[in-house]
Amino acid sequence: MSEQDKKTPILDKRSSRRTFIKNSGLTVGGVVLGGALGSLLGKDSTKTKTIESHVHSEATAVNFNQALMYFDKTQFDTIEAAAEQIFPKTDVGPGAKELLVAYFIDHQLASNWGLNAKEYMTGPFFPTEATALFGHQTHLNRQQIFNLGIEALNAEAQKNYDNNFAALNEDDQIAILTAFEADEVTLNGAVTSGFFFRLLKSATIEGVYADPLYGGNKNMEGWKMKNFPGHQMSYANIIEKDEFVKMDPMSLNSQHNH
Amino acid sequence: MAKKLPKTDIVLAGVGWTGGIIAAELTRKGYKVVGLERGKERKTEDYLMVHDELRYQQRNEMMQDLSKETLTVRHDRTKRALPYRQHGSFLIGDGVGGSGEHWNGLTYRFFPYDFEIYTKTVERYGKDKIPADMPLQDWGITYDELVPYFEKFETMAGISGEANPHPEVPEVKYPTVPLKETPSMKMFREASKNLGYHPYIAPAATLSESYTNPDGISRGACQYCGFCERFGCEYGAKASPVVTVLPVAKETGNFEVRTHCVVRKVLHTNGKATGVLYVDTRTGEEYIQEADVVVVSAYVLNNIRILLNSKLGRPYNPETGTGVIGKNYAYQMTSAASTGFFKDKEFNLYAGTGALAGVLDDFNGDNFDHTDLNFIHGGNIALGHYGKRPISNNSVPKGTPGWGKEFKDESIFWANRSLSVGSQGSVMPNKENYIDLDPTYKDQFGDPLIRMTFNYKDNERNQQKYIREITTKILEEMGADMITTPGDQGDWDTTKYQTTHNTGGVIMGADPETSALNNYLQMWDCENVFVPGANAFPHNSGMNPTGTVGALAYRAAEGIEKYLKNGGSLV
Ligand SMILES: Cc1cc2nc3c(=O)[nH]c(=O)nc-3n(C[C@H](O)[C@H](O)[C@H](O)COP(=O)(O)OP(=O)(O)OC[C@H]3O[C@@H](n4cnc5c(N)ncnc54)[C@H](O)[C@@H]3O)c2cc1C
Ligand code: SF4
């Protein structure tokens, strides 16, 4: 890496931090602002060295995040293939596979989201009585719903095409997902194929656009496609601008390593 | 056995906007206040990692843990209610500051018409205008009486805004200048003016400039960071209890907040409250906090639940229309929104703040003639610039598939090229929209959940049809290449976020027969219990509620002081 390359991002960050403080007109030491502002101001540029070595190693490092917390290999392959059909690679940019969305979904399922830990999971349950307007009404948590959904994706693939879902061609995969969406497939549990499909679809979109800290949106490529700048300190200077302002996105990692 | 704690002057069940205001007002008068808050402590430093759409928006980091407590929902009395198992239609706050921490900050005053809605509707259109199943009521207070309290809330928070140019709407002078106007807001302004409407920049609690309020609290200007509603403000620019009223209360030395403490019941004998029963969820122990005054400030829905579980007040009976607790539950309607697609324009839509909007009230309240219309009231119409985050914003023109290649490319292409003009439609009370206790489902302590019976009635569905034509017309005038117009308002969707503007259930009024609270938000049936919050609204207007909630909380604080001095019913 050249001297120039190493310096640029740091300079950018520093100057944007300074402009932010100048523009915000914050009363430093005001009753309540000490906190967040204090810690922004408190970290000075003596940290530069650490940031540099971090920026440097990022390019060559192994991504230790690419391993499985929840899925087995077949489940992973199935979801990777299905997510790619929901958000495929096109001329516009990478698809779910390249963005590591399947790792994102795996990690999310291993978290409290997979276990519906912050949701009301007390019975009795009346899944067949509930229309879509009443949301999740099954006793199954998301881990169980994914298990059933994946099992059914492969069962459909075997039944219709004699192969696992991940091995099918694009058209056949799309045909199966379309049938899932339309509730035409029966899952071996108290949940519909359409419910599983919607869950998979929203998890895929999340994996494309969530901060890369969660394992998807590789190198912020999801954000770059959509011209979303991620985590920035301030837009006070561009909010009134007539022209579109494109900027390099920043992730929360940049904030943490400040 | 619950442990009894030494008596205090005032105990608060919940420390959000209303609890915070009451704490600040009474501690500075020298009264001792204990605030019981079920969630955790909050401070501005908590928000350094806040620009995280997955954690805060998709996973609702700051909201009530529904595994511990929720409600049940149904459309009508003939159905079995099902639990609200995941957050959807509305988001209930949790932790010190409550929803005041992660609100948008749009801060309006309800109209003079709202406070005297029954009288004014009858005056202008006659009694027959009001359907038999619509228990429309005056509020027992007028706009003019509330003005000083509105001003208190607005100067405390530092509301940024300009006067509403509509001739029917009273002029308001705000303490700080309006927020910056974006190119899309200018297009909205221009187009609406061309159509003869009265657009202006919405009043905002996200500061346009640095501001020091009468309590000496200084806050800096909003940075338009685009992670505002559902998120906490890492700059303290958004007015919230944690950066305004709570430091004032703490400074007096008269305020004690106990976090992780869930209030289960108000204890009472012979028409007077003695205190509250609560559980410290860290120790698992039960306590009784005795107090001269009990303030139930746990947000609309939790307020109703605490009262019903305490057997305080007369529960509403939809068969007879008698009783008051749970009566006149109302909500809002957002389904009149149209989306315009502009192929040759690109806007900086990732930027914004929760309260940045161009808005107009030409079709709100009684600002337009309803003689030949099949509904009363209306809704505001607004183009918001709140910050479009990429997971939750994927607008595509009608006819685009919901996934796959075309969806991907279209959703990316239009991400910064589509604008929505929406409406917050008012909801009038209906005899069949109400809240009671659920017969089946329980919370973490085994106490019954509340059951919400709610659906949109004809008045709302007709209003939506009328307003959607206007949102579409504005987008046409703005020059949209394509417009997606909404269909009819369907049955209430409990899964799709609409607003956290739940209202009613413990309503105010002039008559103890038809209301639960007098105009100090003091309970008719229990003189030392005050219940501030949007629960006091006898109907819901076509705008955000907290300006009015805040004003009423200041009014309640004054009432509590009067009560502590003189006792008795204040009205
Ligand atoms: C995403 C979002 C956006 C919003 N935007 C706007 C807006 O732009 N404009 C506007 O006017 N309004 C807005 N609102 C609404 C606004 O936040 C509320 O009107 C306001 O916060 C209500 O104040 P409150 O004191 O009644 O409740 P809250 O501020 O929610 O406080 C209630 C507190 O009570 C606590 N509590 C609940 N139950 C118990 C219990 N049993 N024991 C102990 N503590 C308990 C809660 O944890 C909470 O801290 C928004 C709300 C949300 C969620
Ligand atoms: S948009 Fe403004 S008020 Fe909202 S969180 Fe960002 S800086 Fe704070």
pLDDT at A18 over 60: no
Average pLDDT of span A232-237: 96
pLDDT range class, residue A258, cuts 50, 70, 90:
low
Instruction: Name the residues of B annotated as catalytic.
Output: 501
Min Cα–Cα distance to chain B from A161, Å: 21
Task: Pinpoint the alpha helices (H) of chain A.
Answer: 3-24, 34-42, 48-60, 73-86, 101-110, 142-161, 170-181, 193-209, 221-226, 252-256
**Helix%, strand%, coil% for chain B, nearest 5:** 25, 25, 50
pLDDT band for position A256 (50/70/90)? confident
d(CA A108, CA B425): 36
pLDDT value of residue A39: 42
Q: How many angstroms separate the alpha carbon of residue B232 from the centre of ligand 2?
A: 8
| Residue indicated by tokens 């992670």 | B227
Report d(CA B51, CA B225) in Å as an integer: 9
Angle formed by the axes of helices A142-161 and A73-86, to 10°? 80
Rounded to an integer, what distance in angstroms lies between the CA atom of residue B21 and that of residue A134? 35
* Three-class SS state of B111: coil
Q: Which of A116, A134, A209 sits opposite B390 (nearest CB)?
A: A209
Distance CA B29, CA B564 (A): 11
Whole-number Å distance, alpha carbon B305 to ligand 1 midpoint, is 15
The confidence score (pLDDT) of residue B137 equals 98
What is the DSSP code string of B176-207?
Answer: BPPPPPPHHHHHHHHHHHHTT---EEPPBSB-
Distance between CA atoms of A236 and A177, rounded to whole angstroms? 44
pLDDT at B1: 84
* CA–CA gap between residue B540 and residue B326 (Å, rounded): 15
**pLDDT band (50, 70, 90) for residue A60:** low
The C-alpha atoms of residue B101 and residue B237 are separated, in whole angstroms, by 11
Confidence of residue A59 (pLDDT cuts 50, 70, 90): low
Residue with tokens 């006793």: A139
Handedness of CA B46, B47, B48, B50 (dihedral sign): positive
Euclidean distance between CA atoms A102 and A204, whole angstroms? 8
- The Cα–Cα gap between B491 and B214 comes to 46
What whole-number distance in Å separates Cα of residue B139 and Cα of residue B115? 5
Q: Residue A27 and residue B239: Cα distance in Å, rounded? A: 15
Kindly determine whether residue B389 and residue A87, on different chains, have CB atoms separated by under 8 Å: no
Chains A and B form CB pairs within 8 A to the count of 232
B379 vs A136, B335, B368, CA distance in Å?
31, 11, 11
| Interface mutation target, options A17, A31, A178, chain B, most CBs of B under 10 Å | A31
Distance A227 CA to ligand 1 centre (A): 33
Look at residue A53 and tell me whether its pLDDT is greater than 60: no
Q: Which residues of B touch A30 (CB under 8 A)?
A: 217-220, 236
Contacts of A257 (CB under 8 A, 6+ apart): A47, A50, A51, A54
Contact A241 B183 (CB under 8 A): yes
Residues of chain B found within 8 Å of residue A86, distances taken between Cβ atoms: 403-404
Q: Give B 200-259 residues with CB within 8 A of chain A.
A: 209-210, 212, 216-226, 234-237, 242-244, 247
Q: What is the pLDDT of residues B144-196, one digit of tens each?
A: 999 999 999 999 999 999 999 999 999 999 999 999 999 999 999 999 999 99
Ligand 2 proximal residues by C-beta, below 6 Å: B 206, 222-225, 227-228, 231, 233, 235, 237-238, 353-354
For chain B positions 364-383, those within 8 Å of chain A (CB to CB) are none
Q: Tell me which of B424, B506, B546 to substitute to probe ligand 1's pocket, judged by most ligand atoms within 8 Å of the beta carbon.
A: B546
Probe ligand 2: pick from B223, B230, B385, B389, max atoms within 8 Å of CB?
Answer: B223
Low pLDDT (below 70) residues in chain B: none
Closest C-alpha to ligand 2, atom 6: B225
Q: Which atom of ligand 1 is nearest to the CA of B264?
A: 41
Interface of B with A in 472-491 (CB under 8 A): 491
A32:B389 CB<8 A: no
Atom of ligand 2 nearest to the CA of B387: 1
Contact B82 A129 (CB under 8 A): yes
Domain ranges of chain A: 3-60+227-255, 73-225
Instruction: Enumerate the residues of chain A whose CB falls inside 8 A of the CB of residue B346.
Output: 244
Cα distance between residue B355 and residue B547, in whole Å: 13
CA of B92 to the centre of ligand 1 (A): 7
Q: Give the list of residues 6+ apart from residue A102 with CB closer than 8 angstroms, or none.
A: A71, A76, A79, A80, A83, A96, A207
Q: Do B409 and A90 touch (CB under 8 A)?
A: yes
Lowest mean pLDDT of A60-64, A101-105, A152-156, A207-211, name the range: A60-64
pLDDT of residue A68: 98
Tell me the CA–centroid distance for residue B63 and ligand 1, in Å: 10
Q: How many CB atoms lie within 10 A of CB B57?
A: 21
The string of DSSP letters for B537-569 reads: -SSB-SS-SHHHHHHHHHHHHHHHHHHHHH-S-
pTM for the full model? Answer: 0.93
What architecture is the B3-566 domain classified under in CATH?
A: 3-Layer(bba) Sandwich (3.50)
Contact predicate B133/B532, CB 8 Å: no
- Closest atom of ligand 1 relative to the B302 alpha carbon: 38
Q: Which of B41, B50, B54, B59 to mutate to test the interface with A (most CBs of A within 10 A)?
A: B54
Considering only CB atoms, B234 lies closest to which of A36, A95, A137, namely A36
> What is the pLDDT of chain B when averaged over all its residues?
98
What integer pLDDT is reported at residue A3 of this predicted model?
A: 37
Contact B218 A231 (CB under 8 A): no
Residue A134 CB-half CA count within 13 A: 23
How far does residue B451's CA lie from ligand 2's centre (Å)? 35
Residue A243 contacts residue A214 (beta carbons within 8 Å): no
Q: Which of B180, B236, B493 sits opposite A33 (nearest CB)?
A: B236
Neighbours of B416 (CB within 10 A): 21
- Candidates B43, B46, B58, B201: best to mutate against A (most CBs of A within 10 A) is B58
Asked whether the predicted pLDDT for residue A43 surpasses 90, the reply is no
To test ligand 2's pocket by mutation, which of B159, B225, B385, B386 has the most ligand atoms within 8 angstroms of CB?
B225
Which residues are paired to A56 by β-bridges?
Answer: none
CA distances from B120 to A135, B128, B138, B145, B457 (A): 40, 13, 9, 17, 22
Query: Complex ipTM, two decimals?
Result: 0.96
Q: What residues 49-68 of chain B have any CB closer than 8 A to a CB of chain A? A: 49, 51-54, 58-60, 65-67
A1 alpha carbon – ligand 1 mean position (Å): 51
Tokens of B347: 């806007």
